[in-house]
Each structure stands twice: as structure tokens, then as C-alpha cells.
């Protein structure tokens, strides 16, 4: 299997020529013709049977169900929601009142019908969100992308008139950073022309733009360096605490934050790798590495608080609001008008507390549990109203428990107001948290969802069966228990076992868990995942031939490394929107922004450890590999589709069992609407079932 019609290779300038460099030409005719040929090879095989049609239909039913919870975000007097279904595949931006939202069938006021807008504009618009002006909530800055890319077009919308504003704030397609100051002024970072973007493709310059003036006359507020990730500015309109901030992202984990006072910038003097944010009179600081202040050392992963004005004046009297240990980490925070809600993870299980600042007369912060939170499953704060009230929207779910949305005020019991339906039968299923031992002795947690098991996690009373293992292991992002009707219908309801691995590199155990697999320690994440795979076989839950793995983005890189370093452990692999060519990742689209995570391939010392795992450089013609499916999107302007394309081409050349599907639309999610998403998911499940249980589950 070769691609004989390929154009001549270009010099990679890093060593030997890459014969498939031409596939990095995202929309080049030769590259797209190659993509169409690969799709034409894979789709008839994967979509030709009745099972695929049933999978797609069942998944589409879930995605379009009117019984789904319409999650909302408060903006003033209204709760806003973006909704997609069969009749509105591109979606509706709509709003309602709290009173109406409590009803079984709320009355929705539709503001923008994206399908109708796409038709009238003759564009394949995909909704990318809206920023509503505070206070007043009369205007919005709406972002729309072509086909789901990160780059978007910006248009101003009048919420009272329900129409786009003639001669309002507009920007052409770019990876812009825009935010309201007042109704007539905005901060804008965008593609102003040559030299205005960083090497990662994000704004390097942020300006203040006044209504009625051309963008060329916007006043520069701050300029970053070309090698930075991005810069931006924001305005806090909280009454009595109106402030402006400038943000410089030096890399993915190091920032500078300034208070803008007139034409001056005052540095908020916290460590570059710490997160800092202000709410009213308070400054919150979240550490990523240990920070010594005077004679006190604060650990990585701590949450600290100080009075903002006092801190800027040089006072370093810090109060510890959260301190991690080896089992706990800070998952998230949310302010209400008078309280701070902290969500932490204890062995990847959520725990919520309410903290109350001292009053004007002084005193200490007080704390207590958030009332009404379910004991089991995972809970997240999905909405608060920090300007006005202490209301909270809390979402809870588990692997086998559909989502419940609760509403209430701090200090009162949370009231369930919305329930998601059960989309698959959970009878006979259990959820277990188990631990595998990695190569260096580290205990790695993972969840198993499948047939009822023995107390030690083994399944001695049933034959080992098809198992799908997934993971991520990067960017301090945790994988927590959550209900997935798509996984339920596509995998669990058909007799499969689902496994979620909490490997190093993620955020399940805080910054130290992430740093343990950073840069030169990257192999730790891959050793962890392999350890989980072996543990599943050791416990009798599955066999190598019945064990499939799936991951996307950084998780797609994880799949590529499993393919090339541990192929004997797996029966099938799905790698979605992946990084794979780690020699050139920093030169493609947003890749340069991730060098703090992976390293710089142009640095010889960094390349020495990157080349040990880079899948594109390590795939070999004489090594047997399990069948693999790569899924990507032409419109993914975050992770370049060239990664998947080139890997497929190289594996075809070497004679391996490799399939690929590239959706033209979809951005980094590889799907622009529910129809495309159902098709993509059904494709993945069909591939896995066919490879892991070819004689079973044809229904």
C-alpha cells in the first residue's frame, strides 16, 4: 500500500527528507484528493453493515433528544442556552427566565437561529459563543466559525432588537481575543497584519477600540513577544470595583498579569506559573509550584487569598483556603456574590465546600460543606451569579447515573430542577475504582464500568470480554466520573466494559501529578497507561486481543505512543485529532503554544527525549501493530490534520492495517453538528466492535 502519486517531498530542514510533508498543505488539491481516497477506502468497509446504521441511529437519538438538560448561564434577568437538535442542527441561541426554566417545558425566546443565519449568509456557520455586555446585558459579541475552526468571525448583536448591529463591532476570521469595556469600547487582539500574531497564531498585540472608529485607529495597550503564546486584556465592571487587567501568556503555564491604571500597568507580583484572579476586594492565587513568601513556603496546588489593594501595596499576609495532600487536589472554584465555592477531588471524587470571607469588622474566613450535594458521583458548579446573588446551579452525574441539575442559594438545600433521562440499561453494571502499579512503583487510579465484579476488581465469574480503555494524561486536565449516553449506547449496552485511566500528566492529583509527566518525564504517562492495560488483563477483565483504546488530541498522541511502544497490549486503537509528528508539531498551527508541555524539538536536549516516543518517527515496517483508525478534521486549526495524514501515509507504505477518516468540517471536535458527531462516533464503535469482537454483537 503506497501513495505513488504523491508530489515530490520538501526538505524538512531538520534532517532526512519527509516524503509526506506535502500532506501538511491543509487545503491543497493534492492533499485533499489523498484525503478523499482514504475516506473512500475506509467508509464502505465501516459503514456498510446494519450495525453501523443502528449505532448511528441510537447515538443520534441521544444527541437530538428533547429530554436532555438545557444547561444555562445567567446574564442579568435571563438564563441563556445554546441548543442543537434534529430540526436545528446548527443550533439556537435562546433565553428564558428562571421561573420558566423551572417548568418541564420552558418558554424559550430565540435570539439567533444559526441554521437560518447560515442559509441567509451562504456560510457553514458553527456557533462559537457570545460575550454579553455587563452591566445592562443589552449587547453581545457573537463568534461564528466556518466549519467549526477555532478561528472565527465576530459580529455585534443587539439583544433588545434581536438583530446584528449595523456598523457595529465586527472582525474578519481570526483567532481573536475580544472583550467589552463599555458599550462603546472593547479590548481587541486579532490579526492586525504582519507581525501582530505570535508564533502560536494568537494575538501578540492588544488594543482599545472605540465604536465608530476604524480598527486601524485602535490604541495599543500592550505588546507581547513573538514567541509568547498570546496577550489579552479584560475589564471587570463590578460596581465599586471597576478594574482593567492585561494578561501575557509567556507559555502554556507561565503568565504575567497587570492591573491597568490609566496608561500605566502595575504588575501583580505572583509567580509566573501561578493563577491569579480578582473578585471584588479579593485576590485569589493558585500555586503550581511551591512558593516561598518570607519564611513561609506554600505548596504546589494551594489556593491562597489576600486583599488585592493590600497585596499591590506590598502586604504579603496570605490566607490558605485550600492545601492539597497526596490524595486530594483543587478541581475548580466559583464565586457567588458573598461566598467562594471550592470543588476538590479526593481520589478523583468531588467534594464541595462553601467559604465565606470575613466581614467589614474583620475576622477569619469560615467554611462548611455545600448543602444538598449527592454523596456519590461527580458534581460541578455550572453557573453562579456573582454580581447580584448567591445562587448556584450544580450538575451531578456518574458513569451510570444520568445528570441531575440542582438549583439553590448558598445556605439552603439544593433543589433538583432538571433530570436527564437514562439512555441505556445499567442493570448488571458496576463501577469500581482500581489501582495499577506503574513501572516506577506509582499507584495509578482507574475506573472500570462493566459487568458486576468481585471485590478485588477481578471478573472471575465471567469470561473476559471486549474492553475500551481511554485516557488523556496532559495539561493538568482531570478525567472524572461522568454519564455518557453515547458511550452507554455504543459500548456498555452492547456488553462492553469501559475503563477510564487517571494517568500522570492529568490534573486528578493536582500540579505535582501533572509535572510528573511533563517534558522529559513524558514517558511516565505512557508507562502508566500501559500499566493499566496490563492490570486489566491480570485481573481477567479482558485480554490483549479484546482490549481497545481510544483518545483524542493529547489523548490521540497517547494512542499513537501506545501503538508504537506497546502494540502487543492491544487489539485495536482509535486516535482522534492527534499529535503524532513531534518533530514538527511546534511548526504547525497552534503547536508552538504547547512547548511548555512537550519541549522544543529544535533544542537538541529536548529532542533527545521527545524522539523516544514521537509516533511518526518510531513506527517501523517490521513490527506488528494492531489495526488502527485515525480520525481528524480538515477544519481543525488547533491540531493540524497533517499529523494523522502523514502517519496514515507512512503506515500504508509500511504495509500496516490502518484506516482513516477526515471530516471536512468540525474543527478540533471533528464534527460540526449532531449528524456529523453521530456518524463519527458510530464509525469509531463499528471499528472497535469489528476488531475486538468480530463474531459477536452483530445486533
pLDDT of residue 666: 81
State the sign of the Cα–Cα–Cα–Cα dihedral 134, 144, 472, 21: negative
> What is the C-alpha separation between 353 and 368, in angstroms, rounded?
6
The alpha carbon torsion through 451, 496, 347, 335 (nearest 10 deg) reads -120
pLDDT at 667: 82
Give residue 461's pLDDT: 45
Q: What is the pLDDT of residues 484-522, one digit of tens each?
A: 999 999 999 999 999 999 999 999 999 999 999 999 999
Residues 576 and 588 in one domain: yes
In a domain, 242, yes or no: no
Which of the two residues, 10 and 112, has the higher pLDDT score?
A: 112
Show the 3-state SS of 107-162. CCEEEEEHHHHHHHHCCCEEEEEEEECCCCCCEEEEEEEECCCCCEEEEEEECCCC
- 163-164 and 152-158: which strand pairing? antiparallel
260, three cell numbers = 491597568
Helices (H) and strands (E) in the chain, counts: 14, 39
CA end-to-end span of the chain, whole Å?
32
**Average confidence (pLDDT) over 677-686:** 97
3-state DSSP call for residue 655?
coil
Cα 68 from Cα 629, distance rounded (Å): 30
Domain shared by 561 and 481, yes or no:
yes
Query: What's the pLDDT at 419?
Result: 97
Task: Judge whether 85 lies within some domain.
Answer: no
Tell me what the mean pLDDT of segment 372-388 comes to. 89
Q: What is the domain-level CATH number for residue 549?
A: 3.40.50.1820
Residue where a domain stops, chosen among 366, 392, 422: 422
3-class secondary-structure state, position 459: coil
Kindly report, residue by residue over 424-445, the tens digit of the pLDDT: 999 999 999 999 999 999 999 9
Can you tell me the distance from the alpha carbon of 218 to that of 209, in angstroms, rounded to the nearest whole number? 5
Give which of 501, 489, 578 is closest to 547, Cα–Cα: 501
> Would 154 be classed as within a structural domain?
no
2 falls in which pLDDT band (50, 70, 90)?
very low
Query: For residues 586 and 607, is the Cβ–Cβ distance under 8 A?
Result: no
Span 47-64, average pLDDT: 96
**Distance (Å) of CA 408 to CA 372, 390, 414:** 9, 8, 5
- Spatial separation of the C-alpha atoms in residues 426 and 136, rounded to whole Å: 46
Decide the pairing of beta strands 429-437 and 467-470: unpaired
Among residues 119, 109, 177, 117, the alpha carbon closest in space to that of 144 is found at 117
pLDDT in tens, 550-581: 999 999 999 999 999 999 999 999 999 999 99
pLDDT > 70 in the chain, percent: 95
Q: How is residue 50 written as a grid cell?
A: 446494519
In this predicted structure, the answer to whether residue 447 has a pLDDT above a threshold of 90 is: yes
443 and 550 co-located in one domain: yes
Listed in order, strand segments (DSSP E) in 170-288 are 170-174, 177-182, 185-189, 205-210, 219-223, 230-236, 243-249, 255-261, 264-267, 275-279, 282-286
264 exposure class (CB count in 10 Å sphere: 0-12, 13-18, 19+): exposed
- Give the model's pLDDT for residue 455: 52
pLDDT of residue 636: 92
Give me the number of domains the chain comprises: 2
Residue 619 has pLDDT above 70, yes or no: yes
When the pLDDT of each residue in the chain is averaged and rounded to a whole number, the result is: 94
Q: What is the pTM of this model?
A: 0.93
Per-residue model confidence (pLDDT) at position 359: 83
pLDDT, average across residues 76-80: 97
Range of the domain at 476: 45-60+424-692
Distance CA 630, CA 573 (A): 9
Residues 385, 455 within the same domain: no
State the pLDDT at residue 578.
98
Regarding whether 469 and 401 lie in a shared domain, the answer is no
Q: Which residues pair with 368 in a beta bridge?
A: 354
Same-domain pairing of 418 and 468: no
The confidence score (pLDDT) of residue 13 equals 40
Residue that finishes a domain, picked among 379, 402, 422: 422
Q: Is residue 155 part of a domain?
A: no
> Are 381 and 474 contained in the same domain?
no
Q: What distances in angstroms separate CA 601 from CA 197, 198, 604, 607, 639, one per listed residue? A: 21, 18, 7, 5, 17
Look at the block and give the residue holding cell 515496517.
Answer: 621
Residue 8 in this model has a pLDDT that exceeds 50: no
User: In the listed set 404, 422, 440, which residue is the last one of a domain according to the structure?
Assistant: 422
Is it the case that residue 214 has pLDDT exceeding 60? yes
The pLDDT of residue 363 is above 90: no
Residue 588 included in any domain: yes
Average pLDDT over residues 263-292: 97
**110 assigned to some structural domain:** no
| Residue 479 and residue 600 in one domain | yes
Q: Average pLDDT in the 178-197 region?
A: 98
For residue 451, which of 430, 470, 468 has the smallest C-alpha distance? 430
Average pLDDT on 21-33 reads 97
Decide if 511 is inside a domain: yes
Query: Bridge partners of 139?
Result: 158
Q: In degrees, to the nearest 5, what angle opens at C-alpha 149 toward C-alphas 147 and 151? A: 125
Residue 7, pLDDT > 70, answer: no
Residue 362's pLDDT band (boundaries 50, 70, 90)? confident
Q: Which of 100-104, 292-296, 663-667 has the lowest mean pLDDT?
A: 663-667
**Looking at the annotation, which residues are catalytic?**
553, 668
- 390: pLDDT confidence band, cut at 50, 70 and 90? very high
One domain, residues 466 and 608? yes
Q: What's the pLDDT tens digit per position in 586-599?
A: 999 999 999 999 99
Residues 583 and 641 in one domain: yes
In the chain, the percentage of residues whose pLDDT exceeds 90 is 91
9 pLDDT band (50/70/90 cuts)?
Answer: very low
Q: Is residue 28 included in any domain, yes or no? A: no
List, in order, residues 6 or more apart from 122 with CB less than 8 Å away: none
pLDDT in tens, 98-145: 999 999 999 999 999 999 999 999 999 999 999 999 999 999 999 999
For residue 409, count CB atoms less than 10 angstroms from its CB and return exposed for 0-12, middle for 13-18, buried for 19 or more: middle
User: Which pLDDT does position 12 carry in this prediction?
Assistant: 42
Clarify whether residues 417 and 434 are in a common domain.
no
- Statement: residue 179 has pLDDT above 60: yes
Q: Is the pLDDT at 15 greater than 80, yes or no?
A: no
Same domain, 497 and 463: yes
Amino acid at each position: 500500500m503506497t501513495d505513488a502519486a504523491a508530489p515530490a517531498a520538501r526538505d524538512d530542514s531538520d534532517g532526512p527528507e519527509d516524503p509526506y510533508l506535502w500532506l501538511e498543505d491543509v487545503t491543497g488539491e493534492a492533499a485533499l484528493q489523498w484525503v478523499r481516497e482514504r475516506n473512500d477506502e475506509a467508509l464502505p468497509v465501516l459503514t456498510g453493515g446494519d450495525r453501523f446504521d443502528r449505532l448511528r441511529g441510537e447515538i443520534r437519538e441521544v444527541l437530538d433528544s428533547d429530554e436532555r438538560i438545557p444547561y444555562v448561564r445567567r446574564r442579568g434577568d435571563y438564563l441563556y442556552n445554546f441548543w442543537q437538535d434534529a430540526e436545528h442542527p446548527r443550533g439556537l441561541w435562546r433565553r428564558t427566565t428562571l421561573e420558566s426554566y423551572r417548568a418541564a417545558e420552558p418558554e424559550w425566546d430565540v435570539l439567533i437561529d444559526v441554521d437560518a443565519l447560515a442559509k441567509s449568509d451562504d456560510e457553514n456557520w458553527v456557533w462559537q459563543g457570545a460575550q454579553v455586555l455587563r452591566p445592562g446585558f443589552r449587547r453581545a459579541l457573537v463568534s461564528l466559525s466556518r466549519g467549526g475552526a477555532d478561528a472565527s468571525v465576530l459580529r455585534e448583536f443587539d439583544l433588545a432588537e434581536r438583530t446584528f448591529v449595523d456598523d457595529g463591532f465586527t472582525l474578519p476570521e481570526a483567532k481573536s481575543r475580544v472583550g467589552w469595556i463599555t458599550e462603546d469600547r472593547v479590548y481587541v487582539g486579532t490579526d492586525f497584519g504582519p507581525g501582530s500574531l505570535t508564533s502560536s497564531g494568537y494575538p501578540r498585540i492588544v488594543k482599545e477600540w472605540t465604536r465608530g472608529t476604524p480598527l486601524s485607529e485602535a490604541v495599543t495597550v500592550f505588546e507581547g513577544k513573538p514567541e509568547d503564546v498570546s496577550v489579552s486584556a479584560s475589564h471587570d465592571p463590578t460596581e465599586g470595583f471597576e478594574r482593567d487587567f492585561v494578561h501575557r501568556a509567556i507559555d502554556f503555564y507561565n503568565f504575567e498579569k497587570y492591573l491597568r491604571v490609566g496608561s500605566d500597568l502595575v504588575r501583580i507580583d505572583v509567580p509566573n506559573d501561578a493563577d491569579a484572579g480578582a473578585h471584588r476586594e479579593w485576590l485569589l492565587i493558585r500555586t503550581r509550584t511551591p512558593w516561598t513568601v518570607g519564611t513561609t513556603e506554600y505548596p504546589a496546588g494551594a489556593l491562597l487569598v489576600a486583599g488585592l489593594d493590600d497585596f499591590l501595596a506590598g502586604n504579603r499576609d496570605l490566607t490558605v483556603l485550600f492545601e492539597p495532600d497526596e490524595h486530594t487536589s483543587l478541581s475548580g472554584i466559583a464565586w457567588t456574590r458573598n461566598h467562594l465555592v471550592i470543588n476538590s477531588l479526593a481520589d478523583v471524587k468531588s467534594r464541595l465546600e462553601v467559604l465565606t470571607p470575613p466581614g467589614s469588622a474583620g475576622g477569619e474566613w469560615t467554611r462548611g460543606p455545600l448543602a444538598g450535594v449527592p454523596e456519590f458521583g461527580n458534581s460541578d458548579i455550572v453557573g453562579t451569579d456573582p454580581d447580584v446573588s448567591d445562587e448556584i446551579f450544580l450538575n451531578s452525574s456518574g458513569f451510570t447515573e444520568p445528570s441531575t441539575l440542582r438549583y439553590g442559594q448558598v445556605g439552603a438545600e439544593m433543589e433538583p430542577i432538571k433530570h436527564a433521562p437514562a439512555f441505556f440499561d445499567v442493570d448488571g453494571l458496576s463501577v469500581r475504582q482500581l489501582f495499577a502499579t506503574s513501572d516506577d512503583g506509582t499507584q495509578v487510579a482507574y475506573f472500570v464500568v462493566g459487568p458486576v465484579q468481585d471485590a478485588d476488581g477481578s471478573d472471575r465469574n465471567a469470561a473476559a470480554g471486549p474492553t475500551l480503555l481511554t485516557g488523556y494524561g496532559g495539561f493538568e486536565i482531570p478525567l472524572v466520573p461522568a454519564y455518557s449516553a453515547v458511550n452507554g449506547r455504543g459500548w456498555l449496552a452492547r456488553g462492553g466494559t469501559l475503563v477510564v485511566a487517571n494517568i500522570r500528566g492529568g490534573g486528578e492529583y493536582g500540579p505535582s501529578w501533572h509535572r510528573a509527566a511533563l517534558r522529559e518525564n513524558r514517558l511516565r504517562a505512557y508507562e502508566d497507561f500501559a500499566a493499566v492495560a496490563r492490570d486489566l488483563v491480570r485481573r481477567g477483565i479482558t485480554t490483549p486481543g479484546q482490549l481497545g483504546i481510544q483518545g483524542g488530541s493529547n489523548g490521540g498522541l497517547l494512542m499513537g505512543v501506545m501503538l508504537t511502544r506497546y502494540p502487543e497490549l492491544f487489539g485495536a486503537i482509535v486516535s482522534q485529532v492527534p499529535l503524532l509528528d513531534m518533530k514538527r508539531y511546534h511548526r504547525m498551527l497552534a503547536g508552538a503554544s504547547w512547548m511548555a508541555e512537550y519541549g522544543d524539538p529544535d533544542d537538541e536536549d529536548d529532542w533527545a527525549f521527545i524522539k523516544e516516543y514521537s509516533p511518526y518517527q518510531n513506527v517501523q515496517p517490521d513490527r506488528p501493530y494492531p489495526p488502527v483508525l485515525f480520525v481528524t478534521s480538515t477544519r481543525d486549526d488547533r491540531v493540524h490534520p497533517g499529523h494523522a495524514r502523514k502517519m496514515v501515509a507512512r503506515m500504508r507504505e509500511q504495509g500496516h492495517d490502518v484506516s482513516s477518516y477526515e471530516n471536512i468540517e468540525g474543527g478540533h471536535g471533528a464534527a460540526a453538528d449532531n449528524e456529523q458527531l453521530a456518524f463519527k462516533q458510530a464509525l469509531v464503535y463499528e471499528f472497535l466492535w469489528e476488531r475486538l469482537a468480530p463474531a459477536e454483537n452483530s445486533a
